[in-house]
Amino acid sequence: MPPFRRKKAAKSFPVKVCTLDAELEFNLEWRATGRDLFDLVCRTIGLRETWFFGLQFEDTKHFISWLKLDKRVQDQCVSQMPGTPFMLLCKLYPEDVAEELIQEVTQHLLFLQVKQAILSMDIYCPPEASVLLASYAVQAKYGDYDESASKPGMLASEDLLPQRVIDQYQMTPEMWEDRIKIWYADHKGMSRDEAEMEYLKIAQDLDMYGVNYFAINNKKETDLYLGVTALGLNIYEKDNKLTPKTTFPWSEIKHISFDDKKFVIKFVDKSVTNFIFFSPKGMNKLILDLCIGNHDLYMRRRKPDTMEVQQMKAQAKEEKQRRQIERNKLAREKQLREAAERDRSAMEQRLLQYQEEIRLANDALRRSEETAELLAEKGRVAEEEASLLAQKAADVERENARLRLSNIKTEEEKVHLERKTREAEFLTARLVEESEKRAAEAARLRGELAAARLAEKTAKEKLINFLTTSSTSSTASLPPGTKCSTVPSSLFPSTCSLPAELGEGRGDGRGEVEVACAGGVTLHNGAPETDLNSYQLVPDDSDPHIHRLSLEIEKERVEYLAKSQHLQRQLESLRCEFSVLRVTRVAFYEQL
């Protein structure tokens, strides 16, 4: 046999242990007991309040079982399923969470387990309490409510309410979220452990909190439920797990035992009849184990704390005080930081405000410069426009002056024309008057001329008669052979021409007055010749008076016609000038 022999490596097997927020994997020795595994898990997570917890697993018969600490792990029907995980769960519930729970890890594990039981509806919770518990759960997970960081729908994806409560009311996830946020905002300043403790304080008052239910039958084979709690045993009707039909406190129970499926509960008071019920064969050991554990813990609470518990409480108290100091310090630092953040935000806001004011000032300065340039440009344009307007005004003024002068001239011309018109009218009236006078004079002269001609005619007739008579008598008295001479007819003109003015009474206006005379007078050669001119019987043009009268009448007629024509021309000229003045005045008014 060699002096040194290598020790054989101990056989081991993998074990997976799950908590509600973590997953642990270990390699256990083949001979390791349940306590070895349990202590390993507790040391790993720092759990010292081990009496509340146990390792739960599902055996080969698909029954829920708790790992026995005094037996090997391999001997507890798990060897055929090496990958079966163990769950670290609260096996025995405390009566008062605020008084009994010492460690924060214990409180956290119990919080997670109770929360899961409520959400999975293993524990009935009313809707109002569900919303309040959900707000504490959100506070424990996310911390203080921050409205700026809170996004719509943030809580809608979280599993916060039992499905029974959601189905009970016709509300949208957003409506549930709003109701939870109302309570969530009230928990500001609460730490995670405080929020979890408040959650557990409310949850421990629920009817189904800390109750392990088992289906049983009484002697009459009535289906009932047995509830194992921290305070005793409860008997429930099949349809009501909330209100127990019968309650057996641990202080009244003396002994519990089972034989196959039969359970017997003996009481301290011997006068009370033993309570007998029947349970499935696979559950009787589990029921007895829970009864023993809850009874032992019940008795332990009513005894003075052990040194270990006292040390744990002292350490927990110191830890709480330290955490409280740290929390207060953190709160002060948080307040200071928030104040500093507020100051910083205020400074940043003021800086942004100043920057904005500077930007606005620069913009205003730039706009003012642009405005100044624009105003300067407008000023130049205005000056140019002013000069143009001044020039136009001067032009207009000159035009106005010209128009005024033209108007004055027009007025003067108008006055002159009016004066000329009045003069022309006066001249016309005078000419008309003179014409009337001349017409009257011409009529008088015509009358006189007619009378003269009539007298002349009469005289001529008398003369002719006289001459004829004298000639006849003389011829008869003459001797034969005496010659007679004939008075030429030229001495007696047959007609006498007069101006038209003297013949106006005849109607033609330009005819001649004819005086008929005899064709001639036959004179005898023997008789003495008679000088007819000496008698002035024949009207001769050489008569100065009649000739002058005829010339004056003709001259006046010509002058009258010339003046009439001149007056007509002046009137036409005046009409043209008046028309020009009207057109000029209308154009002048239109320009004004």
Residue with tokens 């008309």: 432
Give kind and range of the element (H or E) at residue 485: strand 484-487
Instruction: Decide if 139 contacts 190 (C-beta within 8 A).
Output: yes
Instruction: Decide if 486 contacts 569 (C-beta within 8 A).
Output: no
What are the residues whose beta carbons fall under 8 Å from the beta carbon of 305, sequence distance 6 or more?
Answer: 313
303 known member of a binding site:
no
Task: With cut-offs at 50, 70 and 90, classify the pLDDT of residue 588.
Answer: low
- The predicted model gives 315-321 an average pLDDT of 84
- The predicted model gives 81-98 an average pLDDT of 85
Predicted local confidence at residue 425, as pLDDT: 77
Q: What is the pLDDT of residues 329-358, one digit of tens each?
A: 877 887 888 888 888 888 888 888 888 888
- pLDDT for 537 beyond 70: no
Q: What is the pLDDT of residues 60-73, one digit of tens each?
A: 777 788 999 899 88
**Rounded-to-10 torsion of CA 500, 501, 505, 509:** 40
Q: What is the pLDDT of residues 153-202, one digit of tens each?
A: 677 778 889 999 999 988 888 889 889 989 988 998 888 989 999 999 99
305 known member of a binding site:
no
- pLDDT for 509 beyond 80: no
Which residue ranges form the domains of the chain, and what is each CATH number? Answer: 12-203 (1.20.80.10), 212-303 (2.30.29.30)
- The predicted model gives 12-28 an average pLDDT of 88
Predicted local confidence at residue 589, as pLDDT: 60
Q: What is the pLDDT of residues 144-154, one digit of tens each?
A: 888 767 777 67
289 known member of a binding site:
no
The token pair at 10 is: 């101990």
Task: With cut-offs at 50, 70 and 90, classify the pLDDT of residue 471.
Answer: low
The distance of Cα 399 from the centroid of its chain, to the nearest Å, equals: 55
Which range has highest mean pLDDT (18-27, 140-149, 402-411, 456-465)? Answer: 18-27
70 known member of a binding site:
yes
- pLDDT for 50 beyond 50: yes
Q: What is the pLDDT of residues 375-428, one digit of tens each?
A: 888 888 888 888 888 888 888 788 878 877 877 887 787 788 788 778 777 877
Q: Which residue has the higher pLDDT, 264 or 525?
A: 264
Instruction: Decide if 445 contacts 553 (C-beta within 8 A).
Output: yes
The Cα 556–Cα 548 span in angstroms is: 12
Q: How far apart are the first and last CA of the chain?
A: 148
Predicted local confidence at residue 290, as pLDDT: 93
Predicted local confidence at residue 473, as pLDDT: 61
Predicted local confidence at residue 586, as pLDDT: 65
The Cα 211–Cα 199 span in angstroms is: 18
71 known member of a binding site:
yes
The Cα 475–Cα 575 span in angstroms is: 77
